[in-house]
């Protein structure tokens, strides 16, 4: 139990949880106050998921990269649990809104986008480092929101975040990102930072 407490603190998890909770409450309040409909618009739902994922990105690496590779611990299952825990946090927060007057859904879309974007973020953490891991999800999702591609073809894959919850191409794309990100992050962990970057 002590190890878990130290781990969560070293990854800044308590702060991240407070921030994602505050962001969710803010989005929920804004939609409740300024909208006449119960269902939040799809762009807002996707954007909310994106912001929550980006906020949790900082927890994917600790202050000492070398420590995680030298400690006598089985890191792959712990890293996988960390990612799945982040997904659970996002789902709990947004699924809770489905019981209120400002609903951020549908549930299938939230699950697909949260899992896919977390997987993409995890891939970024492994390849380019945790500090920049949010860049790909942010850029890709903003483009998908600004230039939606309904219908068939490659557009469904390129804008999978904004497709309907029952869209098969979007689901497959998200699943591939989720699995590849989960496996890569669990096995390899976050990319090592340069000494100057780690000192910041």
pLDDT at 100 over 50: yes
Mention every residue, 6+ apart, whose C-beta is less than 8 A from residue 190.
60, 61, 65, 125, 126, 129, 130
Tell me the pLDDT band of 198, cut-offs 50, 70 and 90: very low
Q: Is the pLDDT of residue 58 over 70?
A: yes
Distances (CA, A) of 101 to 37, 64, 94, 98, 159: 8, 44, 13, 8, 28
Does the structure show a pLDDT above 50 at 132? yes
Taking 60 as the threshold, does the pLDDT of residue 199 lie above it?
no
Given a contact cutoff of 8 angstroms between Cβ atoms, the answer to whether 46 and 141 are in contact is: yes
**Chain segment 44-54, per-residue pLDDT in tens:** 999 999 999 99
Q: How far apart are CA 200 and CA 177, in angstroms?
A: 30
Tell me, what's the pLDDT at 6? 86
pLDDT band, very low/low/confident/very high, at 65 (cuts 50, 70, 90) = low
Does residue 66 or residue 127 have the better pLDDT?
127
pLDDT-based confidence at residue 192 (cuts at 50, 70, 90)? confident
Average pLDDT over residues 21-31: 98
Short-list 90, 133, 123, 137, CA closest to 109: 90
Stretch 93-112: mean pLDDT, rounded? Answer: 97
pLDDT of residue 63: 81
pLDDT at 196: 41
């Amino acid at each position: 139990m002590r190890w878990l407490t130290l781990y969560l603190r070293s990854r800044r998890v308590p702060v991240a949880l407070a921030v994602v909770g505050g962001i969710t409450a803010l989005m929920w309040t804004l939609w409740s106050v300024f909208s006449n409909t119960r269902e939040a618009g799809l762009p807002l739902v996707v954007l909310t998921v994106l912001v929550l994922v980006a906020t949790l990105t900082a927890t994917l690496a600790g202050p000492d990269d070398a420590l995680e590779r030298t400690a006598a611990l089985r890191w792959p299952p712990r890293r996988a649990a960390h990612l799945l825990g982040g997904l659970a946090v996002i789902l709990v927060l947004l699924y809770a809104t489905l019981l209120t007057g400002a609903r951020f859904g549908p549930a299938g879309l939230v699950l697909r986008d949260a899992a896919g974007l977390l997987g993409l973020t995890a891939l970024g953490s492994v390849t380019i480092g945790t500090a920049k891991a949010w860049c790909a999800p942010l850029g890709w999702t903003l483009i998908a929101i600004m230039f939606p591609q309904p219908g068939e073809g490659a557009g469904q894959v390129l804008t999978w975040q904004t497709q309907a919850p029952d869209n098969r191409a979007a689901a497959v794309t998200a699943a591939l990102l989720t699995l590849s990100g989960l496996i890569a992050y669990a096995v390899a962990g976050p990319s090592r930072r340069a000494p100057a970057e780690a000192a910041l």
